Structure 1
Amino acid sequence: MESSGTLSAHQVDEAEPSQSSIDLYRTLSADIASGVAVVSTVWRRRDYAATVTGHMSVSYDPPTMLVSLYDGGRIADAVSESGIWALSLLGSAHQGNANWLASPGTPLEGLLNQVPFRRGPATGSVIIDGALAYFELRTVAIHEAATHLLVVGEVVSMGRDASGREVQDPLIHYSSSYRRLSS
């Protein structure tokens, strides 16, 4: 790091990145603002849900989305195996739910006891009450990418639970913490 407070250019040429390259990537990529969402599914008659920030719209025709899930996590296994899932976009009022569902080691039994939700009409997956928008999806492709799975889904149902000012107040993840878009 230079004394001016800026990071110097850093080449990543190694087949295996060094710890300093990984640390630098974490620092720089933390400045990518992202909406916060909950991905959920039902697998083996059990609900699975987790907070995610790696999601995006892929196509409008047909409506298609992608979510990035840590390959070692139970949500990745459940979404991969079930073939159906939901994505609930969160507003700032959902920060407590986002923290809970992002916590490592949350219990599988009772995971959603403190989270208000309803079932999606197409998949039966959890939709967080008051979601800015929700999408229910059917998996069409799964790609391995480093430590993550990129799960691509075709939208089978969608809608909005929030209204008025709630829609204008999404929960954003930026610089390693939650932020509000509006004040």
Structure 2
Amino acid sequence: MNATRQFTPRTFVPGPENTRLLRDAFGRFATGITIVTAASENGPVAITANSFSSVSLDPPLVIWAPDRNSRRFVHFEKAEHYAIHVLAADQDDLCFATTKNAHALLDHAYHLNDHGVPLIDGCLARFECHRVACHEGGDHLLVLGQVERAVMRDDGDALAFYRGQVRRIEMN
């Protein structure tokens, strides 16, 4: 006989008084961790983001959403070209460095593409994009990009974000 696990759901109406609760609910969705890079007048900039998704195969489109309250927002709001890097589990140090410092790439290996966008090697996948549209999204900007070039690894474990923590998704 299978035992059914009992749970008590918590129901709430999202509002300004319970943003932490909403954030915790959003955190129940496991997401991959990406680093988005772009060129800036101060050198290469990077931001850690888990608000990334594929949108279309034809044309090849992706979307990501930088936070308007981020000090880095100004760099990504106007970036015509950028790259989205899907991080491998062994890139957690780079993830944490980028979370703390917009210019963390200066201490890590990278190279530039033809548009001057910094590219990180060793990722599970990388998408070099040009911006095709931006849409209002509350406290975030929804950036739609067309993938001009993609690179992916055939092996490696993923770095993920779940319930407010960085986790490793291992393939057996």
The interval holding the TM-score normalised by the smaller chain is: 0.7 to 0.9
Mapping for residues 93-132 of structure 1, pairs under 5 Å: 93-103=90-100, 106=101, 108=103, 111-120=104-113, 122-132=114-124
**Contiguous gaps of at least 5 residues in structure 1:** none
Q: Which residue of 1 aligns with 2:61?
A: 64
Alpha-carbon separation, structure 1, partners of 2:112 and 2:102: 20
- How many angstroms apart in 2 are the aligned matches of 1:99 and 1:53? 13
In structure 2, how many angstroms separate the alpha carbons of the residues matched to 1:74 and 1:7? 36
Identity of counterpart residues, as a percentage? Answer: 25
Letter in 1 for 2:27: A
Taking the aligned partners of 1:87 and 1:78, their CA distance within structure 2 comes to 14
Match of 1:179 in 2: 167
Number of corresponding residues: 166
1:18 is aligned to: 16
Question: Cα distance, 1:163 vs. partner?
Answer: 4.4
Supply the AA of the counterpart residue of 1:174.
Y
Do residues 140 (structure 1) and 132 (structure 2) align? Answer: yes
Gap regions ≥5 residues in structure 2: 1-5
The equivalent residue for 2:3 is none
Q: Give the drift of 1:45.
A: 5.8
Pairwise CA distance, 1:145: 1.1
> What letter is aligned with 1:11?
V
Matched with 1:35 is: 32
> Could you report, residue by residue, the CA deviation over 1:54-81 in whole angstroms, capped at 9, with x for unpaired residues?
1000100010000110112243221221
**Normalization by structure 1: what TM-score?**
0.82
Instruction: Provide the rounded CA distance (Å) in 2 between the counterparts of 1:154 and 1:74.
Output: 25
CA distance in 2, matches of 1:62, 1:139: 13
Distance 1:142 1:34 in 2: 22
User: Structure 2: which amino acid aligns with 1:148?
Assistant: H
AA aligned opposite 2:68: D
Cα RMSD, aligned residues only? 1.9
- d(CA) in 1 for partners of 2:107 and 2:7? 42
- Which TM-score applies when normalising by structure 2? 0.87
